[in-house]
Structure 1
């Protein structure tokens, strides 16, 4: 009888926590109480948010993978996404700065300063993205050719790339505003905005790609239109909750007047944050180009298929690790250093369990997963090899993500920038080139270089985390 009561009580507590995480609770104090509950409340919506972000690419990949010219279509989607990682880098870097500053101000119990900082970050993002969108739209074909696409593939995919690059403002705002909500401790709004954006994309993608009734078939271009519209609707949802005055952050129009001291402070934190992801993104772009030149169109399509599938698994782990950024930022703001450290350890433990499970699943069922996205046997074989090889480093990816977010959440964005510089540019790229070209392993050499470099980056992060510089950063 007693055991039944305890089990029922435990179930009710777990259900209550899950419900609270999905619903969102800005009144929860992340600087006191149970650390496990704090991690769960933040991690669940963050994991679901990142799953939704990864589904964007998978939905596009699935539908375009069944077009007549599927090799060209998959390659275009993959190469465009590889270039879009530069935009993601800018968005993530600025959103990390916003998360760090907003979380620190919330930890100091100063929501007014937190709201002002968030709005100044939006100004910075908007100005930067105007230039990127225009250049991306104009030079879409040149971008595809530079990435290793053939002339035919570049002509086939030019309009897809134009729309994706032209609509990059929505990508920027999705990441940034979600970063503001996460810093304030409301990860649920960030999650729901991606739910809505994805639902729109899933509905619109088949309609615009294949046509439906009076709606004509746009083919590959339809995927870009659907994705851009979906993200735009997600941003509108964010805006509604940001400006309705019901949350912790109360926004007024005066917060949009440029405050150059605040902008300078945000840029100071964001610059290395942007650099660390641009460094990583440029590495991925080089690897994509190396695979395209050594493996041809089919090799490139296989690698891009594997990469999209891998990101589907990696992004939820990144979402879980984002919990460390918020907890570290708020607890450092409240001068709770020991609690910040415990939060990092708890988050890392959960991420290791998650990524270890995914690694086993990928090794066992990799070929079945790949076959869902392409009917081309050559592409399928390359994708399976790439996916299973890259999955060997999943556990180290999981630990590394938490430590990177720990540094960023504390405002110590230079440490992971230097880690990425040495790990990607001075180790991963030369290693991939050496294996692919010198030892004539081709795409296989590139696949091998990825988990090796990621493992080295994680080991370096552990050493620098233990030195503790991140605990002393002021933002």
Structure 2
């Protein structure tokens, strides 16, 4: 086993969490920055309708990412625990099955580009004016789905073996390339919205080559064997069951965007959809640091749980909770104090700035509660406990946010869409605290002592 994996059970937790979380946070920050700059170029080069088209098309892209996230995060949880148990061969078998799944995902995405694209976009709320922009953006993305699937999935796998630095690099490379290529394709080649998506595909293809060489050159704790590419049901079942919360979270995010876009068009118009497209990119930017902390925590939790080092498990959880709470408090202050300034980055239009600032102040009114939500579901996921992870992953968007988005606009108009966010933050925070309090002794017991009410995924 490589030293990068062994340190998960030996290095002091504060240093280890910093070593794993900081690269993940940097990588997530750069990816979020790319998303913001991507939207900025589209807003400046195409206009608010271009942003609306991306906003309508983005849920389809999120579904593709959801499947990749499910396979990657589920596989990472299994692999980190197997490495903690010193079962390298079983970990390699899981890795091979993950790569097989990536191929299947890619084929589905490629075929969908030629068959279901326009009907999907129309179903998701694309109007006659928005549809051309949405199609231009999404078509190249679907054609290059193999690169997205491979890059997203393997990033989680690389983190699971403790190599957070390289995982960070694989996030920075496509983001930086995209930032460089965007103005070339959007402005230089006058490709508009489609130029942004072509730049994204090229960037993901480039990092996919880098990641492939990483595994083929033996730099990983995992080995790629052709024999392990053959699918095995019991392996895929565990990976998918553990990754299902990530899938639900991503798909519910897609469903949330669809519901919001439909309500904004019904109670507002195409203008409000474009404004939300900008605000949504900014919201992704703010939550990325907390996800980075969680990504740093998960391999430590999985490895030490597998190695039965429960004191290290407790220390990781408590420290991680403190860090994400501080971050979420900082986000609250930022969004309350400077929303106009953030909107001015994207546009000089006064109406867009005022509408966006109003939306942001409402949406982030309870942002200080976000950290506990992010970490709680991730804890159960890292331990391979599918049911509570699934419930907590569904809570904010599926159980609370989407219903509120569909109900509140009937009473408060467009403002009802923005009000749904803080209310769902409060409700999902309460649910997270209930789960964490109920299972406060869970992390200090061996597997045979785990409460029967939760399913722990079987070993492959």
The TM-score with structure 2 as length reference comes to 0.91
The 1-side partners of 2:3 and 2:113 are apart by 39
Cα deviation digits, residues 101-132 of structure 1 (max 9, x gap): 11101111223322221221121232133213
Report 1:186-205 matches (<5 A). 186-205=163-182
Report 1:183-262 matches (<5 A). 183-211=160-188, 216-262=189-235
The 1-side partners of 2:68 and 2:30 are apart by 17
- Measured at CA, do residues 272 and 405 of structure 1 come closer, stay the same or move farther in structure 2, by a change above 3 Å? closer
What is the aligned partner in structure 2 of residue 5 from structure 1?
none
The 1-side partners of 2:336 and 2:328 are apart by 12
The 1-side partners of 2:34 and 2:115 are apart by 24
- Measured at CA, do residues 463 and 338 of structure 1 come closer, stay the same or move farther in structure 2, by a change above 3 Å? farther
Using the TM superposition, give the Cα deviation of residue 246 of structure 1 relative to its aligned residue in structure 2, in angstroms: 2.5
Identify the match of residue 457 of structure 1 among 401, 408, 428: 428
The 1-side partners of 2:175 and 2:142 are apart by 18
Report 1:66-85 matches (<5 A). 66-67=44-45, 69-85=46-62
Bigger shift: 138-147 or 285-294?
138-147
CA contact (8 A) 2:363 2:418 kept: yes
The 2-side partners of 1:268 and 1:325 are apart by 17
Q: SS in structure 1 opposite 2:346?
A: coil
What is the aligned partner in structure 1 of residue 453 from structure 2?
none
Q: SS in structure 2 opposite 1:152?
A: coil
Using the TM superposition, give the Cα deviation of residue 419 of structure 1 relative to its aligned residue in structure 2, in angstroms: 3.3
Using the TM superposition, give the Cα deviation of residue 136 of structure 1 relative to its aligned residue in structure 2, in angstroms: 4.1
Q: SS in structure 2 opposite 1:248?
A: coil
What is the aligned partner in structure 2 of residue 39 from structure 1?
17
What is the aligned partner in structure 2 of residue 348 from structure 1?
321
Identify the match of residue 48 of structure 1 among 21, 26, 31: 26
Identify the match of residue 142 of structure 1 among 119, 135, 148: 119
- Runs (4+) off by over 6 Å: none
Identify the match of residue 267 of structure 1 among 230, 240, 254: 240
Count of paired positions: 445
Identify the match of residue 295 of structure 2 among 322, 325, 339: 322
Cα deviation digits, residues 216-268 of structure 1 (max 9, x gap): 32111110100111011111111111221133223233332333332233233
Q: SS in structure 2 opposite 1:126?
A: helix
Cα deviation digits, residues 370-407 of structure 1 (max 9, x gap): 11112333222222222222222322111111111111
Using the TM superposition, give the Cα deviation of residue 360 of structure 1 relative to its aligned residue in structure 2, in angstroms: 0.7
The 2-side partners of 1:97 and 1:246 are apart by 22
- Measured at CA, do residues 114 and 454 of structure 1 come closer, stay the same or move farther in structure 2, by a change above 3 Å? same
- Measured at CA, do residues 209 and 423 of structure 1 come closer, stay the same or move farther in structure 2, by a change above 3 Å? closer
1:105 aligns with 2:82: yes
Identify the match of residue 284 of structure 1 among 247, 257, 261: 257
CA contact (8 A) 2:256 2:402 kept: yes
What is the aligned partner in structure 2 of residue 413 from structure 1?
386
1:168 aligns with 2:158: no
- Measured at CA, do residues 137 and 60 of structure 1 come closer, stay the same or move farther in structure 2, by a change above 3 Å? farther
- Measured at CA, do residues 243 and 394 of structure 1 come closer, stay the same or move farther in structure 2, by a change above 3 Å? farther
The TM-score with structure 1 as length reference comes to 0.88
Using the TM superposition, give the Cα deviation of residue 325 of structure 1 relative to its aligned residue in structure 2, in angstroms: 1.6
Using the TM superposition, give the Cα deviation of residue 349 of structure 1 relative to its aligned residue in structure 2, in angstroms: 0.6
The 2-side partners of 1:27 and 1:146 are apart by 45
Cα deviation digits, residues 402-423 of structure 1 (max 9, x gap): 1111111111132132234454
Identify the match of residue 274 of structure 2 among 288, 296, 301: 301
CA contact (8 A) 2:95 2:224 kept: no
The 2-side partners of 1:172 and 1:191 are apart by 17
The 1-side partners of 2:112 and 2:409 are apart by 32
What is the aligned partner in structure 2 of residue 385 from structure 1?
358
